[in-house]
Amino acid sequence: MDINDGWESQARAMVGQEFGPVYGPDRVNRAMVRHWCEALGFPCDLAVSTSSGSESGESLPVPSSMMQVWTMMGNRGEAALPGGATDDAWKVLRLFADGGYSSIVGTSSDQHYARTIREGERIAYMSHVSAISSLKKTGLGSGYFITVRYTFLSEGRDLVGTMDFCMLAHRKEQFEQVAQ
């Protein structure tokens, strides 16, 4: 086996270690809900109507599937917000990269919703690595399946929902050999 036990032991030691909270950069807002609905082809009458939402004192219905979106930092990975954690469970991927498993492919995302998100809320998440598989042979080459559990919370620490995100960390050169 071509594994450096140091990085793998460190990665496995992270299983169950809690990180966070990491706060979303923006409050839940009408414009982003409208963009989301338009991008995915959903009806967005509620998102653009002046008779519903904050103008009338009512909270805008927010798609539950946007739960993760409110906490994403963007493509440049801007720094965490003041008062929030500066690291999360994704730091396990740096250890896999140290071991040569630097190519990452998302394999599944399983979300469960506890309540509706409301316009004006700031969403945060806690995260931990919940599972790391043994070395597996896949069509992309040998690698490890890593599952990260997210717990999404409101500012008041009310549970919004959870997400289990599984990814495959594999060696890039193995993928290139398989592709040829």
Question: Which element (helix H / strand E) includes 146?
Answer: strand 141-153
Which class is domain 5-179?
A: alpha beta
Q: How high is the pLDDT of residue 82?
A: 60
User: Which of 58, 57, 66 shows the shortest CA–CA distance to 27?
Assistant: 66
Instruction: Quote the pLDDT of residue 52.
Output: 44
Written as tens digits, the pLDDT of the chain (180 aa) is 444 569 999 999 999 999 999 998 889 998 898 888 888 888 766 544 444 444 555 666 788 889 999 988 777 666 556 667 777 888 899 999 999 999 999 889 999 999 999 999 999 999 999 999 999 999 888 999 999 999 999 988 999 999 999 999 999 765 556 555
**Which residues have a Cβ under 8 Å from the Cβ of 160 and sit 6 or more positions away?**
67, 113, 114, 115, 117, 123, 152, 153, 154
Scanning the structure block, which residue is given the tokens 């798609």?
A: 63
Backbone angles phi, psi at 131, to 5 degrees: -160, 145
Q: Tell me the whole-structure pTM to 2 decimals.
A: 0.82
Scan for tokens 């009310």, then name that residue. Answer: 158
3-state class (DSSP) for residue 66? helix
